Structure 1
Amino acid sequence: MYEKHYCFEPPDKDSTTIWKYLKFQYFISLLDKNSLFFAKPELFEDPYEGSYSNANLTEMNELLEKYDENSIIAQNIRTLLENSKRTDNVVLNCWHTNKEESAAMWKLYSDDNAGISIKSDLDRLKNCFSECPYPVYIGKVKYIDWNLEKIPQKNVFSPYLYKRRSFEHENEIRALVHTIKHDGEMCYIDKNQVLQKHELINNGVYVPISLDILIEKIYVSPKSSKWFLDLVKSISKMYGLNKEIIRSNLYDGPS
């Protein structure tokens, strides 16, 4: 279930509108599995996902030069440097924050003619994990000058909540699940402190949700044909999802 965490700063209002842009096949997977796919960060396009900034690494290297290499402080700094990109035990699910649809997001994260966008809000995202047996943390991504600004080093989650300013257009909030490795398997600790195995598929995990709670409306691509809109309506009905489905009018001309 959703849990607060001091590292994660949520948007100011639970009513904040969020969007999930995805290709049609991933929408089918969402319906079929009744789950959101949380991906390992190394699958993302940004090679700096989960890394400390250059400003952090510069500071750590400068500190390392000040201490005897065998000192406890030097050992701790070296550990931080060695683990400056920690992706083994974290999986992420990302959403775009915006009051309206985003033309850029349609182009980046869905097929022009067969894309889907799920409209939701922060409150729905929090509550859709109510039956999930392990913690899900949610917070805004902050965009910084990678060479000049440091990421707080107070928790291993911090690097996953900061990105370079080049990605500000994503205006992202992300949900995070912290897994552990046990006997070579990806696992989690449930609310009863029981060790459970994740189903690891394509470098990620499916996290159970309530689709009815999560989804407010479904939009299909502004460049899609009527047959595609009808197909999405038919498949949604087949899976028992009773939500308004709309063809985006983003590129419709003035009437």
Structure 2
Amino acid sequence: MKNEKRVQMHTELYNRNVRIFEKEHRGTCTKCNKKIADGETIHLGYDKQYELAYVCDNCSKNLATIIVRHLYKKELYIKPNNKAKLWRFMDLAKYISLIQSKSLFFARADTFEDPFECAKGYKNLEYKWNACYAGFCWGAITSLENLPDIKKTYSEKEALTEANRLLKQLKDLSRKERQNTFICCWHENEFESEAMWKLYSNNSSQGVAIQTTYERLYMALDKDPDIDIGKINYIDFENHLCGVNGSFWYKRKSFEHEKEVRAVVKLFPKKELVQSVMKPINLDVLIENIYVSPTSPKWFRDLVIDINIKYGVEKEVFHSTLDKEPFY
């Protein structure tokens, strides 16, 4: 009965506003400010003043109505600071698409150039991943014998067959995850990056960058609770394998210069796979500053200004500071 209570949910009360509140306070009790540890029970609901609360076990007595109760699991990514500067470098065509559609482009994970997008690790180390999760599946199968409602006893051969079936299912789901995960990439940096200008604008003399912050991006997406925004964790795949979930928050150390922050959304198309999705964005909230590339001529900045006027973007356009002349 205790475990049943820990996963209960009143779905009719679990609306968008409640989900936003849960996401914004995740990991910290709103009553005592205690940090929630992995495996602890959290309680989300309304207190006796009918205000939303996200609380630990000790503070759960303050709740008059419980909406969700479950075991807490730490996020797989680190959220940037609210004022962390984020940059998106692009060519003129992509910039026009952004302001014309008032939408952010999210690419499907398996369409990225990097073949390691959502990878668990190097192919030659796959046997280690298989061994780890085969053992996990074996443990899950054999533990069923101890559950009073199931009363199922597996022979060693049956348990092995079932464990291998579950392992295959895990791997199939992992591959499908690449088709259901959509990503919008940003560069976190206090300043401009010459490398990013060269990498992400097809013609470096006609590149455009928008600068925002984490807080602005979150607000511009209307606090969409289905979108996660977090930092990439750069790892050495020789010594690290990704788990079943969240491998899209990891990249190889060789990409560390990108300082990537990504917005991630999962969608499950009912019919045909889609290459990308567009998420509505409030441009006025999103854009803090606009820059044109350091090698761009004056006419290009003037063109961007004219395009902004046409689409009602009332933001100043700066020439990149990287073009400033030195003295010796």
In the other structure, the counterpart of 2:308 is: 236
Is 1:73 paired with 2:186? no
- Distance in 1, Cα, partners of 2:252 & 2:134: 27
Give how far 1:22 is off. 0.5
Instruction: Give a deviation string over 1:137-193, Cα, whole Å, max 9, x none.
Output: 11111011112112233x3xx1110011111011101001110121x146xxxxxxx
Instruction: Give a deviation string over 1:111-153, Cα, whole Å, max 9, x none.
Output: 2110011111100011011175x62111111011112112233
In the other structure, the counterpart of 2:232 is: 141
Secondary structure, in 3 states, of the residue corresponding to 2:321?
A: coil
Q: 1:118 to 1:92 in 2, by over 3 A?
A: same
Of 100, 110, 127 in structure 2, the residue corresponding to residue 58 of structure 1 is 127
- List aligned pairs for 1:2-151, cutoff 5 A: 4=23, 6-11=75-80, 13-54=81-122, 57-63=126-132, 68=157, 70-85=160-175, 86-110=177-201, 111-130=203-222, 135-151=226-242
TM-score (norm 2): 0.66
Q: 1:73 to 1:210 in 2, by over 3 A?
A: same
Confirm or deny: 8 A CA contact 2:134 2:167 kept in the other structure: no
Q: Which has the higher helix share?
A: 2
Higher relative contact order (CA 8 A, sep 6+): 1
Instruction: Give a deviation string over 1:14-69, Cα, whole Å, max 9, x none.
Output: 00011000111000000110000000112212101012123973323334787658
The runs of 5 or more residues in structure 1 that have no matched partner are 187-199
Confirm or deny: 8 A CA contact 2:91 2:208 kept in the other structure: yes
User: Letter of the aligned partner of 1:204 in structure 2?
Assistant: S
In the other structure, the counterpart of 2:264 is: 176
User: Letter of the aligned partner of 2:211 in structure 1?
Assistant: K
Structure with greater Cα Rg = 2
- Distance in 2, Cα, partners of 1:104 & 1:213: 27
Is 1:160 paired with 2:228? no
- Distance in 2, Cα, partners of 1:121 & 1:221: 20
Superposed structure 1 runs of 4+ greater than 4 Å apart: 63-70
The runs of 5 or more residues in structure 2 that have no matched partner are 1-15, 27-74, 139-156
Confirm or deny: 8 A CA contact 1:136 1:176 kept in the other structure: yes
Secondary structure, in 3 states, of the residue corresponding to 2:323?
A: coil
User: Letter of the aligned partner of 1:108 in structure 2?
Assistant: L
C-alpha root-mean-square deviation of aligned residues, in Å?
2.3
User: Letter of the aligned partner of 1:62 in structure 2?
Assistant: A
Tell me the matched-pair count.
234
Secondary structure, in 3 states, of the residue corresponding to 1:233?
A: helix
Of 294, 297, 309 in structure 2, the residue corresponding to residue 222 of structure 1 is 294
Q: 1:82 to 1:135 in 2, by over 3 A?
A: closer
